[in-house]
Amino acid sequence: EIFDQAFISSNALGTGNAGRLSVTAKSLKVLDGAYIASDANSFGDAGPVTIRADDLLVSGDGGAITYIS
């Protein structure tokens, strides 16, 4: 469970690619502004985001799973 604007992320802030991001859980809740993201803020690509969960809940204001390149 991640909540209250907490995050798991892989970011590329300059030249280059963001890394892979993988989350494996029996149950995963992303709540109340929390997020899982891969971002590339300059030159490069966001890395792949893989989530493996039997149960997944994304809920609340701003909760998200994103890939921005």
- pLDDT: which is higher, 53 or 7: 53
- pLDDT tens digits along 15-35: 888 888 899 999 999 988 888
How many CA atoms, within 13 angstroms, populate the side-chain half-sphere of residue 1?
A: 5
CA distances, 11 to each of 6, 51, 65 (Å): 15, 17, 14
pLDDT of residue 62: 73
| 3-class secondary-structure state, position 61 | coil
Share of the chain above pLDDT 70, in %: 94
Stated pTM of the model: 0.75
How would residue 53 be classed by pLDDT, with cut points 50, 70 and 90? very high
